[in-house]
């Protein structure tokens, strides 16, 4: 099977989501903090001038993001050669190939499922079967990332040749190809211009909780704004 590309797009979704949750923050940052306005002491800084806690917000990562990833790597292909004989009688000596396609992630509140199809041929005989497995999705506070692990599959193509049922000596497992790197949930930076010059907002999610919904993953988090 071909090596999958990394799913960087999900990380971008998380970063963009942090900015999208709080569109008014840039406007707030352009005004002098209330404490500084009250004090009117040049050069004096107050502890609460630069750090603000934003109430809990939500970020959605849709299953279409994961499906964009599998679209780039499928079909998954295996190829080889197999010679089968019954006793001293040759039955078939031919190349075989097997493709896995139509892979799709399906996210529900109870599960993250992956479905697809296997198509194989050997000695001009076709084989077709469904692929079904599940994925475990969690948020790691130590890695500051969403972790996705895919459970293994064990599909052995089997061919019916007159008088014989011949299983190929292979077992198809889609899990290694669908293994995703950690999806980072990190500080997002938003730069903009003000009358006083360029400014930047740093949005850092805290107290993150992950939940599965119909069609998407939901992150709930507080945000430190600096």
Inform me whether the pLDDT recorded for 8 exceeds 80. no
pLDDT of the residue at 201: 78
**Among 156, 178, 200, where does a domain finish?**
178
The answer to whether residues 128 and 115 belong to one domain is yes
The answer to whether residues 27 and 85 belong to one domain is no
In a domain, residue 160? The reply is: yes
Inform me whether the pLDDT recorded for 17 exceeds 50. no
pLDDT of the residue at 193: 86
pLDDT of the residue at 56: 64
In a domain, residue 99? The reply is: yes
Burial zone of 181 (CB within 10 Å; 0-12 exposed, 13-18 middle, 19+ buried): middle
The answer to whether residues 73 and 161 belong to one domain is yes
The answer to whether residues 30 and 96 belong to one domain is no
Inform me whether the pLDDT recorded for 165 exceeds 80. yes
The answer to whether residues 98 and 154 belong to one domain is yes
119: β partners: 99, 128
The C-alpha atoms of residue 191 and residue 188 are separated, in whole angstroms, by 10
The answer to whether residues 70 and 17 belong to one domain is no
Helical residues (DSSP H) of the chain, grouped into ranges:
8-21, 25-29, 34-39, 63-73, 175-178
State which residues form the domain around 29: 8-61+183-225
Taking the alpha carbons of 68, 69, 72, 74 in that order, is the dihedral positive or negative?
negative
User: Structure pTM?
Assistant: 0.70
Question: pLDDT digits over 131-162, tens only?
Answer: 999 999 999 989 989 999 999 999 999 999 98
The C-alpha atoms of residue 205 and residue 57 are separated, in whole angstroms, by 9
The answer to whether residues 164 and 198 belong to one domain is no
The C-alpha atoms of residue 206 and residue 185 are separated, in whole angstroms, by 10
Report the domain count for the chain: 2
């Amino acid at each position: 099977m071909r090596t999958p590309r990394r799913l960087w797009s999900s990380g971008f979704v998380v970063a963009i989501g942090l900015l999208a949750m709080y569109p008014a923050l840039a406007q707030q940052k352009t005004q002098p903090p209330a404490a500084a306005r009250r004090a009117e002491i040049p050069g004096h800084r107050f502890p609460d001038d630069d750090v603000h806690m934003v109430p809990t917000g939500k970020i959605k990562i849709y299953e279409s993001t994961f499906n964009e990833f599998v679209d780039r790597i499928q079909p998954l292909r295996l190829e080889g050669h197999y010679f089968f004989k019954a006793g001293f009688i040759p039955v078939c000596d031919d190349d075989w190939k097997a493709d896995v396609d139509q892979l799709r992630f399906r996210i529900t509140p109870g599960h993250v499922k992956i479905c697809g199809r296997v198509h194989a041929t050997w000695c001009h005989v076709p084989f077709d079967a469904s692929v079904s497995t599940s994925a475990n999705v969690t948020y790691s506070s130590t890695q500051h990332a969403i972790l996705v692990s895919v459970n293994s599959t064990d599909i052995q193509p089997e061919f019916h040749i007159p008088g014989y049922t011949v299983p190929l000596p292979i077992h198809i497992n889609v899990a290694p190809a669908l293994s995703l790197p950690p999806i980072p949930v990190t500080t997002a930076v938003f730069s903009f211009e003000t009358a006083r010059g360029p400014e930047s907002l740093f949005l850092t999610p805290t107290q993150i909780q992950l939940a599965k919904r119909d069609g998407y993953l939901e992150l709930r988090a507080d945000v430190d704004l600096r």
